[in-house]
Amino acid sequence: MKQGFIGTSSDGTRGVRWLGAGLAIATIALGACQDPNAGGAPTKWTKAEPGSHEEVETLPSVPPRPSSLSVAALLEKAKEQFSPLPEAVESRNNPITEEKVTLGRMLYFDPRLSKGGDIACATCHDLEAFGVDVREEGGHRLATSLGFQGQKGDRNAPTVYNAGLYLAQFWDGRSPDLEDQAKGPVLNPVEMAMPDEATVVATLKAVPGYVEAFATAFPGQPDPITYDNMAKAIGAFERQLMTPGPFDDFLAGKLTALDEQQLAGLDLFMNAGCIQCHTGPAVGGTMFQKLGTVKPWEGVTDEGRFKITKAEADKLVFKVPSLRNITKTGPYLHDGSITSLEDMVQKMATHQLAKGELTPDELSSMIAFLGSLEGRLPEEYIAKPTLPGSGAVVQEPVEDEGEPAEGEPSEDEAVEDEAQPEPEPAGEPG
- pLDDT tens for 293-321 read 999 999 999 999 999 999 999 999 999 99
Among 112-121, 159-168, 323-332, 392-401, where is mean pLDDT lowest? 392-401
Length of the chain (residues)? 430
CA gap 308, 319 in Å, rounded: 13
User: pTM of the prediction?
Assistant: 0.81
Residue 8: strand pairing partners: 14
CA gap 185, 425 in Å, rounded: 8
Asked whether this chain's domains 71-86+244-371 and 98-238 adopt the same fold, the reply is: yes
Provide the residue ranges of all domains of the chain, joining segments of one domain with +: 1-62, 71-86+244-371, 98-238
Residue 19 has what pLDDT? 40
Q: Kindly indicate the confidence band of residue 226, based on its pLDDT and cuts at 50, 70 and 90.
A: very high
Whether 5 shows a pLDDT value over 50: the answer reads: no
Catalytic-role residue among 55, 90, 191, 403: 191
Q: Cα 23 to chain center, whole Å?
A: 51
H-type alpha helices, 32-125: 71-79, 98-109, 121-124
Q: Which residues contact 126 (CB under 8 A, 6 or more apart)?
A: 132, 133, 134
Residue 20 burial by Cβ neighbours in a 10 Å radius (0-12, 13-18, 19+): exposed
Residue 260 has what pLDDT? 97
Q: Kindly indicate the confidence band of residue 424, based on its pLDDT and cuts at 50, 70 and 90.
A: low
Residue environment code for 390-406, b if the CB has 16+ CB neighbours within 10 A, otherwise e: ebebbeeeeeeeeeeee
Residue 317 has what pLDDT? 98
8-35 pLDDT, tens digit each: 444 444 444 444 444 444 444 444 444 4
- DSSP single-letter state for residue 177: S
Residue 64 has what pLDDT? 79
Q: Which helix (H) or strand (E) holds 137?
A: strand 136-137
379 is catalytic: no
Instruction: Report whether the peptide linkage leading into residue 331 is cis, meaning its omega lies within 30 degrees of zero.
Output: yes
- The DSSP bridge pattern shows strands 57-58 and 136-137 to be unpaired
Whether 145 shows a pLDDT value over 80: the answer reads: yes
**3-class DSSP state of 315:** coil
Residue of 246, 253, 247 whose CA lies nearest to 76: 253
Residue 68 has what pLDDT? 82
What does the angle CA 139 – CA 142 – CA 145 come to, to the nearest 5 degrees?
150
Radius of gyration of the chain (CA): 29
- Do 372 and 246 form a contact (C-beta atoms < 8 A)? yes
Whether 335 shows a pLDDT value over 70: the answer reads: yes
CATH (residue range 98-238): 1.10.760.10
- Do 305 and 314 form a contact (C-beta atoms < 8 A)? yes
- Distances in whole angstroms, Cα of residue 167 to Cα of each of 79, 240, 320, 419: 20, 16, 10, 22
CATH (residue range 71-86+244-371): 1.10.760.10
